């Protein structure tokens, strides 16, 4: 399977007469893009705003972040199940507007969303302070239920991300990155002397607006399965989460998964990358037992010698993490787990809500409870009063001058458990 990502680097974004890319600037016809958003009958009102790195801007609350992409060739379309049909993706060529993002926002649906600051202390922690963002802010029609509102905003974000890429097909490409690999059987035969490694991508699938989608299907209704790494990078997995923002995997994170990138880079050199197993985080004990058993059995059937396991969220999913590691280790499959920690504001509490002696290789992406002081911004997009309902915030978090005192978990992507964050240990 061969996937080419045709990357167009976006250095700036602005409003213009036509939507196109020229010399690194994404120009957008605001009225045309807004009309695409307002095709959604569940929106009473919508606005579009632009933010650039370094500006004194706060976006709150943020629902999802999506990198603009569209297929140039090959089967299917990016974000299958939402844009185009449900044909499998991961082959052909895909246009990527690297450095641009669609951010969805509104008076959202649940108590667990987050913020993006384009400058200041919070900007250090979020990758989206360094992207040129087109922000969709909506108000739903009266009487809409939370699930319909979430679905409308989620789907609109995918349409707008596709629209921006589709209008940029003639742009000059800066880089073509190729990802090519056969299935696990053939690759294992190619490199019989190398250890075989699979990747469990744990995903929030708990219902109550805590969802992840695979080819448009709500994963909480599925059992774990195997996909080619190219499928993940081509939009097969997308976010539907209203969860703590620090470690939620936005759609942008799924498209740019650093674990997939690193395993691909090492494939054929010091390991065989067997593929990605998108897997569930159930709220029920029986569901956790079933899913973790499926995962371990899949890894064994693939002939895996090792598994990388990334968590999404914390608390209840910590038990899924422990079960996945323990069951693989008991089958002789070595594991490395990646998670953040909820260790209290002083960092002295137990990092995970569960534990198991089989976890012997643990990568921490930070403490979600660490407190940070955020200065006021010149412009606020959205509703800054929503900080009182966000994880990591409280009613007293927002001060009269617009400054905030919050936990890291209020910042989108600050402790992302795919490892896409600025927190970590580094060789010096």
pLDDT digits (tens, 9 = 90+) for 112-145: 789 999 999 999 999 999 999 999 999 999 999 8
Single out the residue of 198, 221, 210 nearest to residue 314, CA to CA: 210
Residue 368 near residue 341, CB atoms below 8 Å: yes
Give pLDDT tens digits for 291-316: 999 999 999 999 999 999 999 999 99
The rounded radius of gyration (Å) of the Cα atoms in the chain is 21
Residue 233 near residue 180, CB atoms below 8 Å: no
35's enclosing H/E stretch is helix 30-37
The number of CA neighbours under 13 Å toward the Cβ of 79 is 27
Task: Give residues with Cβ within 8 angstroms of 427, minimum separation 6.
Answer: none
Measured CA distances, 28 to 14, 17, 48, 373 (Å): 6, 7, 11, 34
Residue 156 confidence (pLDDT) above 90: yes
Residue 273 confidence (pLDDT) above 80: yes
Measured CA distances, 298 to 161, 380, 392, 396, 397 (Å): 34, 47, 36, 48, 45
Which pLDDT score is estimated for 108?
63
Looking at every residue in the chain, the average pLDDT score rounds to: 95
Give pLDDT tens digits for 355-403: 999 999 999 999 999 999 999 999 999 989 889 888 899 989 999 999 9
Task: Give residues with Cβ within 8 angstroms of 357, minimum separation 6.
Answer: none
Active site residues: 242
Which pLDDT score is estimated for 113?
85
Look up the pTM and report it.
Answer: 0.96
């Amino acid at each position: 399977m061969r996937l080419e990502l045709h990357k167009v680097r976006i250095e700036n974004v602005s409003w213009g007469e036509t939507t196109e890319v020229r010399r690194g600037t994404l120009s957008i016809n605001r009225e045309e893009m807004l009309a695409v958003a307002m095709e959604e009958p569940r929106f009473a009102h919508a606005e579009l705003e632009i933010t650039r790195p370094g500006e004194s801007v706060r976006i709150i609350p943020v629902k999802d972040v999506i990198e603009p992409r569209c297929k140039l060739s090959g089967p299917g379309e990016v974000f299958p199940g939402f844009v185009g049909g449900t044909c499998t993706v991961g082959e052909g060529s895909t246009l990527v507007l690297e450095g641009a993002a669609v951010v969805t926002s509104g008076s959202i649906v649940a108590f667990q969303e987050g913020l993006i600051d384009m400058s200041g202390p919070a900007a250090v922690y979020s990758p989206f302070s360094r992207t040129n963002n087109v922000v969709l802010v909506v108000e739903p029609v009266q009487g809409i239920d939370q699930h319909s509102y979430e679905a409308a905003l989620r789907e609109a974000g995918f349409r707008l991300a596709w629209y921006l890429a589709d209008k940029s097909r003639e742009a000059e490409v800066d880089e073509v990155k190729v990802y090519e690999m056969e299935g696990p059987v053939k690759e294992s035969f190619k490199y019989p002397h190398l250890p075989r490694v699979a990747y469990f991508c744990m995903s929030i699938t708990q219902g109550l607006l805590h969802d992840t989608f695979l080819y448009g299907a709500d994963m909480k209704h599925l059992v774990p399965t195997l996909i080619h790494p190219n499928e993940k990078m081509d939009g097969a997995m997308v976010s539907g989460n209203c969860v703590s923002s620090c470690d939620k995997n936005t759609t942008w994170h799924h498209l740019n998964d650093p674990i997939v990138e690193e395993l691909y880079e090492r494939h054929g050199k010091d390991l065989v990358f067997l593929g990605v197993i998108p897997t569930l985080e159930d709220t029920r004990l029986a569901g956790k037992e079933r899913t973790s058993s499926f995962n371990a059995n899949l890894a064994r059937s693939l002939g895996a010698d090792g598994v990388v396991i990334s968590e999404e969220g914390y608390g209840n999913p910590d038990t899924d993490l422990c079960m996945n590691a323990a069951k693989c280790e008991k089958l002789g499959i070595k594991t490395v787990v990646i998670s953040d920690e909820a260790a209290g504001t002083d960092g002295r509490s137990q990092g995970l809500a569960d534990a198991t002696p089989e976890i012997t290789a643990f990568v921490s992406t930070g403490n979600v409870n660490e407190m940070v002081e955020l200065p006021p911004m010149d412009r606020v997009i959205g509703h800054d009063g929503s900080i009182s309902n966000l994880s990591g915030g409280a009613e007293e978090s927002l001060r009269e001058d617009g400054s905030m005192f919050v936990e890291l978990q209020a910042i989108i992507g600050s402790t992302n458990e795919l490892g896409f964050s600025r927190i970590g240990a580094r060789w010096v």
